[in-house]
Chain A
Amino acid sequence: MSEPWEDDEPEGPVRKFMYVNRRAPYGTIYALESLEVVLIAAAFEQDVTLVFMDDGVYQIKKDQNTDAIGVKNFSPTYRALEGYDVEKLYVEKESLESRGLTTDDLVVPVQVVDKDQLAELMEEQEVILSF
């Protein structure tokens, strides 16, 4: 006897959700809140795309160690997204470059897109949530 939430088929329609992350990880709560909401959408088996642009690229910087500031380091969670079938991760090229970063600096594999490609991706979405 399976519970409704254990059905193989999702109950409602699957929509294309894009989460646009533009804030650095610890100075404000935006990055962590976004991650929470992404996990909720993933639990409802929605079609999730994540974008990291502007200071949002810093959310997935490698080697974060928050021991000395007394705040939880949530960067390992981005590596767990794959397990929730959240695999469409995009980083804006211009944002990386202006911060002197490359994909080698990031904790997860991402697709690097330029601003024009990103604009097209945004047009394809049904829902866009900005953090």
Chain B
Amino acid sequence: MPMLHTVNKSPFERRTLDTALRHAVKGAAILLIEDGVYAAFDGTVVAEKVKAALADHKIYVLGPDVTARGMSEHHVIDGLEVVDYGGFVDLVTEHDKVQSWL
């Protein structure tokens, strides 16, 4: 199983998501956590880039970080999967290794 990449920085403030996507092989998974979840919402200037990335990657977003920021599942781009902390653990165990982009 390819790598799991986690991204915890806002895509509006840092280039971390771009860097992660640029270094993720086809089939690698992306998990958006903390301020990284701002990339998961539709209607923003980064939404198209995330939708395009769905062609090569499964993209997950951590639900508790979404609700903390006043967002909900209906703001999340179609095709992304919302996971809870248990789902986060499952993703870590299912993939060979984790690359935490900070």
A residues at B contact (CB < 8 Å): 23-28, 54-55, 58, 61-69, 71, 73, 75, 98-100, 105
Contacts and interface: CB of A to CB of B under 8 A. Distances in A.
B65 interface: yes
B41 A26 contact: no
A27 B42 contact: no
Given A55-B38, A58-B38, A99 B68 contact: no
Given A27-B8, A62-B70, A98 B38 contact: no
Nearest to B9: A27
Q: Which 3 A-B pairs have the closest CB atoms?
A: A100-B43, A27-B35, A68-B64
Chain B interface main SS type: loop
Given A24-B35, A68-B63, A99 B12 contact: yes
A68 B38 CA distance: 17
A24 B69 contact: yes
